[in-house]
Chains A and B, each alone.
Chain A
Amino acid sequence: MQIETPASSAGPFAHERSSIQRTMALVMLALLPATLFGFWQFGWPAIFLFFATIGTALLAESACLKLAGKPQRLYLLDGSALLAAWLLAVSLPPWAPWWIGAIGAVIAIVVAKHVFGGLGQNLFNPAMVARVALLISFPLEMTNYVQPMPLFSADAPGLMQSVGISLGQPGFDAVSGATLLSHVRTELSQGMSLSEIIPGIAHLVSGAVGTIAGSMGETSALLILLGGLFLLAKRVITWHTPVAMIGSLAILATLMNLYDPEQYAGALYHIVSGATLLVAFFIATDPVTSPVSKMGQILFGAGCGVLVYVIRTWAGYPEGVAFAILLMNACTPMIDHYIRPRIYGRDRRGTPIEYADNAEMRK
């Protein structure tokens, strides 16, 4: 019965059983309701775009792994490329042609991820890099939003028509619609007041439910919130980043709204419109590109919130989340350098704490 075991391994000899695959799978599960709602709202063209994006991302990932000499099975199945492409896809205009998604996926995987060294090494969130790159390169395609036309409804395009839309052929009369953010911005610039642009609460309700024009998976604030709460419950993310981001955005919006209600929309408007919630729960919490300490995450989230408000209100784009995230991503290394948890038995500066009791016994 005498056995000899290898003595090379060290503890701990137990594990929580978490894994990167599991984490990624939980995030995708949380995204699923909003994504399926997007499929239903925007029909076959959205579904084609989604799969074009993901398929291209996996091919690009595989090619990069091959070039880097990393094991395909282990890394391709870690779910990171799939998730990055998924997040990119839900942030695209739902009827964008397939090559928008494909180019975006290549940018996300090759440029934003593997050029930096692959999983865990990227400085910027790949989905947001791709979104911004596409927005700058293809402004027309990237701002061409359509009104929801639920799948199987009378106005929705058929399968063949959808293929045409995906290939970028005109021929189907879609009702293009402005997103709430761009609508408000345009009207404000025309000298209208907010009470004329958003006459009632109805706009906000449709924004929360998601029956408005918008990106494929961003329209339903409620379903995104549901996914976010699921991630919090599963401890995949902590409250610090989302609360700080939504909180700072809400505080700023409320203050400005109190200052001039006809010019500056309130907190609720900013929270339910655009990609605020998607970004707060799914992008700003991206572990790779956000700070590691809780204090750092609060700072990061607050910075995102402020930037989102500033860009939406005063800069050239109606929506500012992607820019806000990238700017804060660039600050992450600095935040991590300066904001660290306090070490046990030391003060914030790292010197051992002193008590009167036995201080004279110590040198």
Chain B
Amino acid sequence: MKLFKIRGGVHPHDNKHLAAGQAIENLPMPALLHIPLQQHIGAPAKPAVQRGQQVAKGELLALSQGAISAPVHAPTSGRVMGVGSYPAHHASGLSVRTVTLKPDGEDRWSDEIQGVPDPFALAPEEIAARVAAAGIVGMGGATFPSAVKLNLRTRYRLHTLVINGAECEPYLTCDDRLMREQAEEVIDGIRIMAHALGVDRIIVAIENNKPEAQAAMALAASMDPRIRIARLPTRYPMGSEKHLVQALTGRETPARGLTADIGVVVHNGATAFAVHEALRLGRPLVSRVVTVSGGAVSRPGNLRVPLGARVQDLLEHCGGFAQQPAQLISGGPMMGQPLPSTRVPMVKGSNGVLALTTAEVARHEPMPCIRCATCVQACPCGLVPLDMAAHTRAGDLDGAVSLGLMDCIGCGSCAYVCPAHIPLVQYFNYAKGEMAARGRAKQKMTETKRLAAQRTARMEAIKQAKREAMAKRKREAAAKKAAETAAADAAVMAPGAAADAAVMTPGAAAEPPATTAEA
């Protein structure tokens, strides 16, 4: 099919040869699984199990909470050892709420697991509901709950489903292998998603460095005339959702918008596979394919791993390190995160574990910027990274924002080509984080102001009420006295009583006018 040009981008050495030839293997069940309760963007899931509880494979471990969240299920049968803190799959190495599960070795699915004989007979919202219940999130790494995207139909006019099989990050081959080996299942999941979205145009986009995957997917899709296979040029960041849609449709997603604004929804191929499993077999998302690669790994490969297996379990299965790695990364080398330790567990968004050698990382001492503009040419978003970095460096974050900081997708193309080896992405991450913090601080300040104003108003209202109550009491007392005086006046006729009244109420006679004035 006809493709459109996208701007910028780079051609990193893809290094896919390391793992592309390795068929997907099942990782042997580790002795323990550490399953974090937050493996998605949005609110963390709420634990639904207790220490000591026996669970079957696929049984619910934690419930989703809120509109953007996803439940977590048991990756195998076993006993819950506890719900506590464990280092997160994140560069910070901070701990998060994690269920620790001791597998019993039986790997027995829960009895309640049941598929749907014909998913196409279901209403679209029913499919989305089942995808939500299966805890499926975007498996390309963004981990946005998939059901939310399948429900976009209600708010947008959609016409196209794009399956992102670009896999443009170097080294990663997990999507490639999945599409090669399980094309039928992936296509089935794609068709189910198209049904849920109500679209009749489906494009499966795969980069040209994966001819086998293209062929396998084309074959599996041949029975459905709605599906077209797009053969993408190999270029990073072709897998960026908005750029992918531009390459396929020629249209840009409006800034700050979603691809749904131009009628397109993008899902990852591995997500489609998970949807197939959830609908046909009733199985929740409890495992995924991960590429283990890099020059420092003895036997690079692609593994199907239960969620919660540790990075270390994967590396050990791949024969450990052939040499000391200079950098351990989760994801690809372009946008991946450094891993703080090999103890961290695999999560739904983990697509790669890379152990890179010093030569592969190619880090140099940063030099001053010579304004060579290679970063400008490499930026797929039309930004001027060198100027944004200069503003950030000078502390002028508003200046950086006015140059388009918030339009930066963080793809790292600029830093990849920079001859001065300036860590541009780090600058932008810092600036974005700082802007977010400022936003929060500003919000907090307005909130504090609002609360303070409310409190002042409340105190004022109380005072006012007190004053009014007092005035009312005084008025009542005065009225009572006046009544008494009146009664006394009435008694003037009786001379003795009149003298009594005059003696008893000298002050009271003066008070009523004063009270009236006060009121």
Contact = CB atoms under 8 A, between A and B. Distances in A.
A358 B263 contact: yes
Interface in B228-268: 242-243, 251-257, 260-263
Interface in A1-57: 1-20, 22-23
Contacts of B376: 292-293, 341
B335 interface: yes
A345 B329 contact: no
Interface in A265-307: 287-288, 292-294
Contact of B374 (A12, A17, A18): A18
A176 interface: no
B13 to A, nearest CB: 8
A184 to B, nearest CB: 37
B254 A13 contact: no
B255 A346 contact: yes
B255 to A, nearest CB: 4
A9 B340 CA distance: 10
Contacts of B343: 2
B342 A1 contact: yes
Given A9-B327, A11-B334, A293 B342 contact: no
Contact of A12 (B256, B403, B415): B415
Interface string B379-401: 11111101100000000000000
- The bracket for how many chain A residues form the interface is 35 or more
B336 interface: yes
Contact of B367 (A2, A4, A20, A292): A20
A340 interface: yes
Contacts of A119: 367-368, 370
A224 to B, nearest CB: 21
- Among B253, B261, B415, the most chain A Cβ lie within 10 Å of the Cβ of B261
Interface in A223-276: 238
A358 B156 CA distance: 6
A66 to B, nearest CB: 17
Interface string A89-127: 000000000000000000000000000001111000000
B155 A361 contact: yes
A22 B337 CA distance: 29
Interface stretch (B313-321, B481-489, B509-517): B313-321
B412 interface: yes
A99 B305 CA distance: 72
A341 B384 contact: yes
A16 B341 CA distance: 27
B409 to A, nearest CB: 8
B339 A15 contact: no
B205 to A, nearest CB: 18
B335 A11 contact: yes
Contact of A7 (B340, B381, B417): B340
A136 interface: no
A91 B93 CA distance: 58
A73 to B, nearest CB: 10
B328 A5 contact: yes
Contacts of B312: 1-2
Interface in B312-368: 312, 315-316, 320-321, 325, 327-329, 333-343, 354, 356, 360-365, 367-368
Interface in A188-213: none
Given A1-B315, A355-B251, A361-B261, A7 B429 contact: no
Contact of B262 (A20, A352, A355): A355
Nearest to B246: A344
Given A361-B261, A362-B257, A13 B327 contact: yes
A5 B252 contact: no
B371 A287 contact: yes
Contact of B260 (A121, A293, A352, A358): A358
Contact of B420 (A13, A20, A354): A20
B248 to A, nearest CB: 15
A354 B251 CA distance: 11
A347 to B, nearest CB: 9
B12 to A, nearest CB: 6
B416 interface: yes
A357 to B, nearest CB: 5
Contacts of B198: none
B341 A4 contact: yes
A3 B370 contact: no
Contacts of B377: 238, 294
Most B CB within 10 A of own CB, among A1, A120, A238, A294: A120
A274 B63 CA distance: 77
Given A1-B321, A16-B12, A120-B370, A345 B363 contact: no
Contacts of B157: 357-358, 361
A67 interface: no
B457 to A, nearest CB: 31
A160 interface: no
Contacts of A7: 91-93, 338-340
B416 A16 contact: yes
B156 A344 contact: no
B367 to A, nearest CB: 5
Interface string A318-349: 00000000000000000010001111111000
21 contacts: A2-B341, A3-B328, A7-B91, A10-B338, A11-B336, A11-B337, A12-B425, A13-B336, A14-B13, A19-B367, A22-B419, A118-B368, A292-B386, A340-B403, A341-B376, A341-B383, A341-B384, A345-B407, A352-B256, A357-B157, A357-B261
Given A12-B335, A341-B7, 17 more contacts: A9-B327, A9-B363, A11-B329, A13-B329, A14-B334, A15-B361, A16-B416, A16-B417, A23-B419, A292-B384, A336-B384, A341-B379, A343-B383, A344-B380, A345-B256, A350-B404, A354-B254
Interface of B: 7, 10, 12-13, 91-93, 155-157, 170, 242-243, 251-257, 260-263, 312, 315-316, 320-321, 325, 327-329, 333-343, 354, 356, 360-365, 367-374, 376-377, 379-384, 386-387, 403-404, 407, 412, 415-421, 423, 425-426, 429
